[in-house]
């Protein structure tokens, strides 16, 4: 299992780490941590989106270069299948993933897990967080010992978040060499060039440029970035894993975007938080409650 080193006084403790991300390419947001921790990396989907072209090979190249390695779940699901399963309330693939991750955390004696934050930007990112939190809670109940659970922002500045959360986050400003390696890795990721250049130059995703309302909401909710934003990497502690409404009654960004895509004839149905994501969250938490006996 990959190791992470952290200093404590004059001693170093070797920490076993896992990174779980919804899409290939998310690892670039925590590239320096990837280099230093060299975690086992789980990727829920192949990142194919509507293009149906997998980008998992590009993530494999990133991992090879830093000395990290793929985990058992690695791009085996297509994005369209994830959406279809959630829309039709087929929770079995995600339940199986929770149990697979739980077993890996216990058997590997993992100390630290990091992964996508729940931001309301993309359903797959939020599903990833639901899976992580359910597995972490199951491990805590089964072995009576918690795992350090971190998330990281995928949209907007990496250090975005409530002040109290950031006060206890692991934030690092990269030196010039580490920053250069990170930018090089991002610019050498062929399928993400539009997103990378947009993030580095404070421009809106090309799919939103003709929709002023969505563009404004994106900026006001998530903020804007430039190249220097990515000098900082923040792993934020996840303490509240049972929040019933993380969006405070508002609809998440992906619902508003989905409505736009349905009107344009690109989607057939809007994936909604209360109709589709809440039942999934409830199904995963039911697995936690039903399988909480300690080993």
Q: Is the per-residue pLDDT at 294 higher than 80? A: no
For 289, other C-beta atoms within 10 Å of its C-beta total: 10
Q: What does the pLDDT look like over 238-254, one tens digit per residue?
A: 987 766 678 877 899 99
Average pLDDT over every residue of 162-191? 90
Per-residue pLDDT, 210: 61
Q: Is 210 exposed, middle or buried (0-12, 13-18, 19+ CB in 10 A)?
A: exposed
The pLDDT-based confidence of 85 (bands split at 50, 70, 90) is very high
Q: What class, spelled out in words, does domain 3-290 have in CATH?
A: alpha beta
Q: Is the per-residue pLDDT at 206 higher than 70? A: no
Q: Which residues pair with 12 in a beta bridge?
A: 7
Q: Concatenated DSSP letters for 16-48?
A: EEEEEESSTTGGGGGHHHHHHH--EEEEEE---
Q: Which residues pair with 3 in a beta bridge?
A: 16
Q: What does the pLDDT look like over 17-31, one tens digit per residue?
A: 999 999 999 999 999
Give the list of residues 6+ apart from residue 225 with CB closer than 8 angstroms, or none: 156, 157, 199, 200, 202
Number of Cα atoms under 13 Å in the Cβ half of residue 284: 31
Per-residue pLDDT, 209: 57
Q: Is the per-residue pLDDT at 15 higher than 80? A: yes
Residues 15 and 9 sit within 8 Å (Cβ to Cβ) = no
Per-residue pLDDT, 6: 44
Lowest mean pLDDT among 60-69, 95-104, 196-205: 196-205
Q: Is the per-residue pLDDT at 212 higher than 80? A: no
Average pLDDT over every residue of 65-88? 96
Give me the residue spans of the domains in the chain. Answer: 3-290
Per-residue pLDDT, 14: 64
Q: Is 234 exposed, middle or buried (0-12, 13-18, 19+ CB in 10 A)?
A: buried
d(CA 66, CA 38): 7
User: What percentage of the chain has pLDDT greater than the value 90?
Assistant: 66
Q: What does the pLDDT look like over 255-286, one tens digit per residue?
A: 999 999 899 888 889 999 999 999 999 999 99
How far CA 192 is from CA of 60, 69, 258, 284, in Å, comes to 14, 21, 21, 31
Mean pLDDT (the chain, rounded): 89
User: What percentage of the chain has pLDDT greater than the value 70?
Assistant: 90
């Amino acid at each position: 299992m990959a190791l992470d080193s952290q200093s404590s006084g004059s001693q170093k403790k070797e920490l076993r780490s896992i990174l779980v991300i919804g899409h290939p390419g998310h690892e670039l947001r925590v590239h320096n941590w990837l280099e230093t921790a060299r975690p086992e990396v789980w990727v829920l989907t192949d990142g194919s989106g509507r293009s149906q072209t997998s980008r998992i090979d590009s993530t494999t190249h990133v991992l090879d270069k830093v000395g990290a390695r793929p985990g058992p779940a690695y791009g085996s699901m297509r994005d369209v299948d994830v959406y279809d399963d959630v829309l039709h309330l087929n929770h079995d693939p995600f339940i199986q993933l929770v149990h697979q991750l739980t077993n890996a955390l216990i058997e590997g004696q993992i100390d630290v897990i990091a992964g996508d934050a729940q931001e309301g930007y993309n359903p797959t990112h939020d599903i990833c967080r639901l899976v992580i939190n359910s597995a972490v809670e199951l491990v805590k109940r089964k072995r009576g010992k918690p795992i350090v659970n971190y998330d990281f922002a995928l949209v907007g500045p990496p250090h975005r978040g409530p002040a109290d959360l950031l006060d206890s986050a692991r934030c690092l400003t990269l030196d010039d060499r580490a920053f250069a390696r990170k930018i090089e890795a991002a610019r050498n990721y062929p399928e993400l060039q539009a997103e990378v250049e947009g993030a580095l130059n404070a421009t809106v995703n090309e799919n939103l440029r003709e929709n002023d309302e969505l563009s404004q909401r994106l900026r006001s909710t998530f903020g804007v970035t430039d190249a220097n934003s990515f000098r900082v990497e923040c792993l934020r502690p996840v303490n509240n894993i049972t929040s019933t409404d993380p969006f405070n009654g508002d609809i998440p960004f992906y619902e508003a975007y989905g409505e736009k895509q349905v009107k344009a004839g690109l989607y057939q149905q809007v994936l909604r938080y209360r109709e589709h994501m809440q039942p999934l969250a409830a199904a995963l938490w039911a697995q936690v409650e039903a399988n909480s006996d300690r080993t």
